[in-house]
Structure 1
């Protein structure tokens, strides 16, 4: 499935470039937000298939942004829930549990692992095209 629309919410420019370059090779159409507030603004006008959400960001972190996205979905009565995958350097079970509790659908540890990402999105019915 080529052309999957992905919103990358990440404040670290090096991580942005790495993930963008990696996933672009697989045909993803990627927009980047530097923080949660920018992400919410983009979501007002665009629909994404997947949101890859860093947890620790300035302005608005990933957990608060996820709570706001879920609140907006509920308020709009939308039946199409955004798929949100948390992305963090922390690898503790408590971090994963917190991500899920706050409304994320899945969780990935940094550094970004494209194979793990492929496994996760496959669980949601998406397939990465071959390079």
Structure 2
């Protein structure tokens, strides 16, 4: 696999560590953000192949952060796939997520294989 760069945005330390472990192998470069504000900062200074975005976070939630990322005119921010990582119900909320700029989602709790299946759709 060619080198890919992923930003993981997750406020829960344990979930952030689990996702990091799922992604840690080979040529994967990972940056970690604890909330939407930190994610915006990372996106302004780095280009990512994938962003994994928790939807429920303090300071700036995942949907608001996604909307802001989509309006930035830097580092391919308008096109980078943003994958929601959420326990919320996609059956009732997916259209709302997509309107905010979410590309796809993984439903918590998810396995490493489930996460990679979604990521592989976009890389």
- Kindly state the Cα deviation for residue 92 of structure 1 after the two structures are TM-superposed: 3.8
* Higher Cα Rg, which structure: 1
Q: How does 1:6-45 map to 2 (within 5 A)?
A: 6-25=6-25, 27-45=27-45
Q: How does 1:1-131 map to 2 (within 5 A)?
A: 1-25=1-25, 27-73=27-73, 81-124=79-122, 126=123
What are the ranges of 5 or more consecutive residues in structure 2 without an aligned counterpart?
none
In the aligned structure 2, how far is the partner of 1:107 from the partner of 1:97? 12
What are the ranges of 5 or more consecutive residues in structure 1 without an aligned counterpart?
127-131
Structure 1 residues 47 and 79: alpha-carbon distance in aligned structure 2, compared to 1, 3 A threshold: closer
**Is contact 1:19-1:112 (8 Å) kept?**
no
- Kindly state the Cα deviation for residue 14 of structure 1 after the two structures are TM-superposed: 0.1
CA RMSD of superposed structures (Å): 2.0
